[in-house]
Amino acid sequence: MVDGPNFDDRDGWIWFDGKLVPWREANVHVLTHALHYASSVFEGQRAYNGTIFKLDEHSQRLRNSAELLGFTLPWSVEQIGAACNEVLASNGLTDAYVRPVAWRGSEQMGVSAQRTKPHLAIAAWEWGKYFDPSLAARGIKLDIAEWRRPAPYTAPTSAKAAGLYMICTLSKHRAEDRGFHDALMFDWRGQVAEATGANAFFIRDGAIHTPTPDCFLDGITRRTVIDLARNRGVEVIERAIWPEELESFEQMFLTGSAAEVTFVGSAGPWNFEVGDLSRQLALDYEDLVNGRQPTI
């Protein structure tokens, strides 16, 4: 995870509503609507060798997420992308994590937010592996979360919305308190869904199985890894997966912009090996994000 000063006390620049401001001055009022009513969406993206991977897709998803929460960003995909690159350059970063966040402001307070204005800020910082690299050989340990991903008719589950991550924080804290690295979440039906910030994949008999993202985020990294697997001729099956099936899978890994491709050694009572196909897809992803064509 991230070491160093608190996130409100750093040198550098943050893009804020159209201009770069000193890091410590990128502040909002305590009565900002997003702080009280979770009217906020965000992106998490990584830059490799000075290039932000899948930048346009991330910028488009940010706009889509805001629309799902009922507000429209006045910045285009191209303008958001240019701002992200400006932040990267102004902070002298080439390998970094980039965080755009959009929210409703403090112009109105209450459940109704019709008069609030949309705001956008973008920050970037150096960030190594999401999980301790020493875990790579054996895979991380997942707890089974008590909280479940909500049904799509109860929340805007296709949005990367801040409010949807509250139960992820609760689940991850509980997992860490119990000696795990993260948690595997089920959905409201009891089907396998995802980890707290990454999509889940399973391998059995040379085929990859992954839950259908009908109530959680269809991750950009998820889709990238599916394409990489299919380019190798590997069958990828998107379907409902029930917990009882987990004992039949040989390998498991997670994907996400922060997590990249992370091997899983166990999830609750189920154990997995870190096998050749998982390792190959991790190498393919590393090649791709660094501008190298994966060797088939």
Question: Which residues are known catalytic residues?
Answer: 160
Beta strands in the chain (DSSP E): 13-16, 19-22, 40-42, 45-48, 51-52, 96-104, 118-125, 140-149, 182-187, 192-195, 199-204, 207-211, 236-239, 251-256, 260-267, 270-271
Torsion of CA 167, 219, 250, 282, to 10 degrees: -120
* Closest to 182 in 3D by CA, of 253, 105, 121, 86: 253
* Closest to 286 in 3D by CA, of 261, 265, 263, 264: 261
Alpha-carbon distances, residue 281 vs 104, 133, 136, 201, 213 (angstroms): 39, 17, 14, 11, 20
| Element of type H or E holding 273 | none
269 neighbors 142 (Cβ within 8 angstroms): no
Distance CA 47, CA 98 (A): 7
255 neighbors 54 (Cβ within 8 angstroms): no
Please return the burial class of 41, using the count of CB atoms within 10 Å of its CB with bins 0-12, 13-18 and 19+. Answer: buried
Q: What is the Cβ-side half-sphere exposure of residue 99, based on CA atoms within 13 angstroms? A: 14
84 neighbors 102 (Cβ within 8 angstroms): no
Distance CA 193, CA 201 (A): 10
